[in-house]
Structure 1
Amino acid sequence: MSAPKSGPQSPFPGPRPYEAGERDRFFGRAGERRDLAALVIANRLTVLYGPTGAGKTSLLAAGLVPELERAGFMVMPIARPGGLLPPGTNPIHLRNVYSANVLMHWHHGDIDGVVKHTITSYLEAMPDPRPERPLALIIDQFEDLFATHTTQWEQREAFLHELVECLAKPERGVEERPVRICLAIREEQLAELERYAALLPDLLRVRFRLDPLRRPAAIEVMTHAAGGMFSRADAEKLATDLGHRRVRTFGKLALVPSEFIEPMQLQLACDEKWRRGGRSGAMAKPRDPDEALIRYVDAGIARARAGWGAEAKIRRFIGDKLLTPEGGRSAAIRGKRNTGGLSNKLVDRLEHERLIRAEERLGARWYELAHDRLLEPMRLSNAVWFDSQRRRRRARRVALLLLLLAGLGVAGYFGVQWALDTYRGLEGEKTGVEAELAAASRTREDLEQALARAEGAHAVERLRAQARALDVDFVGLADDVQATRGVIATMARFSPRGRDGEPADLTNFVAVAAELPGLGARLTGLVQRHAELTAELAAATAARPVVEADLKALSKETASRGPELERLRADLDAAAAEQIRQRVRVLAEVSGFEAPQRGASGDARAREMARELWRDAFVLLQRGSTEDARGRFERAHLRDPASAPSWDMLGRIAQTAGDLKTAEQSYRRALAQVPDYGPSLGSMASLYLTKEWFLDAERCAREALAAQPDLLSARIVLRAVQQRRQTEVESDEEGLSPKNPCVRAAAAPAASHPPAGAPPASPEPAQPAE
């Protein structure tokens, strides 16, 4: 499976429901969560129902379960009455197939531990260190009781009797402990449950209907979960766009605003905006939800089959293994090399595209569609795709038939002509025709050989270009890793002396730890690209013997990069380990350092006190005491208003908390005190790169490297800008921002910087303060 892109994880789960571990990112359902929990606590059985895609599963996992746990309940894992059984299990031999499915969600051993139990007997035999706690059972997708295992339909009543048995007494259930049950079912299947109301007397009267999100709730989801990506105005506009439905009015289809917004369409649109760095995409455009989900399915399958040519296999796997004839979800168990006849690599890609999700059950890994709401869009998408394939095959057969008829006509014509020539004894014309046919054959062979050579040369050049790009990225990464090791090696000789340059060195050293994951992600990407290029070269060598020598030479050259990549990984791992070791040593020495007292002026003593406060704050920050560190940094710049390191560290604390505006203000104040302070110049370069102000980012990065040549963050920013220039021919930038503080840093008399187009200079090392 392709490795995901580096960076923070999206707060929006996309097509799958929220999980219990994502309760802190579950917004927009505070009222429903509170009301449903109150009903479950107060009543023995509560029925949660609503339309498909309204968010029932998310409300149960990320809303109801935390509320019940806070109320002191022991909540069993969310179960389903349907699904698939382990391989080799015959449902006919089970006491009750629906009970077995529920118990398999609770049991972590083999199936032999559940086949003989009823729900009540399993709960009574279950070990519990706190048996006094009330018990909560949550059964999701209760419609599976009517849509799966249809040959065992007579076991439905027995399963419902087992649920009633858990609630046999008015107030006490299993082993005299209170039991509460919550059933979640689709609204359209609620009538099926009503047929069994006689088996559940007075137990179906407590119901809770869940509607899709309304506009205020959708706005809350966007503004709270995205960490500031959505402004209030942006969220309101996107909610308005998504709240449209395609209806037929006056004989025509039109998009009209509606009362509700489908949660899945909202999650997909927000996730796409997150992955695009704040820019809206196709999912955020006003269109019918089914149309938007079909586009999402088509795009996900296209990305999953990229490079494999296996879209038909993927769609057959989904249609045959994950969709049932009755229109429900099915599941497939993962094998050693394939799942349901589809290669596990393609299955992993489908999971990465979040079209399917995995579930661990009884030691096996099962796959199913990410959400019930994808059933109909997936079915429609498959129908359209296979229909288009059938039309293409029909068109090819018709074209082949026409070509065959034309060939037969031409052959017939020449046959008749040959017969006439023979009949008339024109041997000379016959010889001429045969000579022309031979010449045409030779010409065709020559053209085919020339075409094969041209195609082979094109393939060689294309693969050589990929190899050159890989080499360029490898050399750049190797330079950055070497620079990282240089910073760490320099800090191995570090000893606090109370010099003015020490804050910049310490800041650069601890910032290396933040850059190491990015370097590791770049290395992982290079390794994957190297493997893909190696495989493509092997396939091309076998398919194009005309250029076999060139391809083998390029393969040998590419293979030589493998050991170099492994050595680079070893260097990066060694650098990470050494950074941790030196960090512990440096923090210990800085925390124990006391500057010698000198009889100096009041200003000098104030500066020394500011340095001491800065060192204490720096140690606290590295040990996780952010608020205490912030307070000491503020006291440090109050002692010495010209203390650029204090402003710089306050900016870094704000940037870590996501407050980029405050961070930029702090960096500007630091540069106002010391225009060539390297860490702040590097931080401004990173901020400009985030804004995609590439000229400003390049200027700040070059000025940072001129002030502090070993500043790793500035090197990485500069390399990112250079890579963009290689991939994009035109630029939409008009010039440097007039408010760029790095321009003033270049003009300051305290520093001498090269022009923007020149490589960073290597200034003389700063002398220690007396």
Structure 2
Amino acid sequence: MAANNVMAPNTACPFPGLRPYRSTEEALFRGRAQESAQLAALWRTRALTVLHGPSGIGKSSLLHAGVLPLLRRIGADVLPVGGVTAGPVFPEAAIPSANPLVRALLRSWVPDTSLPPAGVHRFLRRAGRPSRPVLAAVDQLEDAYAGDRDAARRELLGLLAPARHVHLLLCIRDDWLDAFLGEAEGLFPDIALFGLGGLAPAAAAEALGRPLRDAGRVVPPATAEALADDLATERIVDETGRVRASEHLEAVQPWQLQATCLWLWRTCPQGQGAPPGTSSAGDPAPSDPAPGALASGDPPGGPVGEAADPSGGDPSGVADGAIRGVLWDAIWRVAAAFDHDPVRLCGWLATHLVAPSGAAGTLAEGPAETAGMPNAVLRALVRRSVLRVTVSGGARTYVLGHRLLAPLGQLARQAGALGVPALGLSDRLRAALEALADGDQSRAERHARHVVTTATHDLRLQIDAHTILGNVAFARGQLAVAQDAYERVLVLLETQRDKASVGVMLAAIGRLSLSRGDLPAAQGLLRAAAARLPADRSIKVELARALAGTGQRTAAVAILSTVMTAAEDDEAHALHRDLVTEMSDHAT
């Protein structure tokens, strides 16, 4: 019997949704070929390249799925993409640096190791080959401007600047670009700026239609072009829902394109024909309902869709429905993270940022609140691309995101009828990490404590929540409280037989004991950590310090001699030199 050569349709969704594209998804990343090549060339040839743009514009996707694959194909020495906050839950006290931004960056540069190296200088000095530069990227640098991080941020920039054999690519949101440049210009003599805008409608149509066609879903080119054009059209809709005017935008926002793409994936047939809601020529079918949510499922609480846009004759119902789903999801999640009512938050946004005529409004940021709303809430909405920020003379002004006037007005009219779910436990942990990234320790503690008291039978959630509580206490300088939280985690980890994680937690508790002056306890804990993580030199340096503190200089010197490097500024080398000097002075 002859083999069947007909390929089965691809059932894997080619769109990542609101998360960035990954490096493994280069084939799915469409519409940014020119920007990818230009940015890769800048990064290779300039000491510092700054990629900037508004939230949701696709900076992370461009870096991961556009630039990195190009560079790796030509054999460039590229470090893993770094970050200054967030990442997996990790006991912060396990890393020697007192700078939280440095700790996060080192962890992100070596994601596959139990403990990162002890310093930025040492790590960069050893990275790559002398014959060509090392390419290092730091994404979402705007996180370094949240909370009380001025001193930590300046220290980090000061550590990055002297690495002349390293070419840096720093990604930052537009509203923090001027602040960064004011700090960087005296440190980095060679700065190249690369501003990223939205997708041109033609590129958006390619990014929308091509992956669907490659996956066996039939989308007529006219349909993709009509939807892309609609995504580049801002409608002014008054409080009755009547379209009063429209404005053609220069570009499509990538996150809105993704929302529409996911809806198309869910509704587009695998055989012949056009997506529901459009005719085969790409015109809308007015009798079909508009979508209300992302392809991954309706927003919690039920769909947000309405009937097709009453203006008819255009595909705005498709895009508006998809955008409404994402918009409501962002609003209720931000509201839940701050213990606010999402319906009231939605109404507040519509009242203050959309005029009764449907035109856009603006709000100047106040010292702590803006029109009665905490600035932290507004900044969380900026991160989720609901709001945009303009900065002039240091003053920050909020405006609604591009093409959100009509969808927000539609939401505000029906928000009271929408379901509002409770924040799940995993979502609470993410909210706690976001709060720490904001520098809001109280909010992080509140979410973590909720998980501790609720997820009593989920060991993984308990481990993460107690670790976050330990990190909060560590950030506050409450070392005894941090140690107590970490010790709870250690008990849980030992039941998992996770040797590496136990070693990291032992190192964290040992360093806390050392900082608290409990040298005997520190010695025992650090010895146990070193036994589980024998390749980690930083633990051995801390163990030597603990031994030296109790007068065991010879033992300390013996340990240090096994981990020293040739560099004079090496921490082990410096401690070894001091101990040898002390021993010589004592002998004489």
- Superposition TM-score tier, normalisation by shorter sequence: 0.3 to 0.5
Structure with higher Rg: it is 1
Q: Could you tell me the TM-score, scaled by structure 1's length?
A: 0.37
Q: Could you tell me the TM-score, scaled by structure 2's length?
A: 0.47
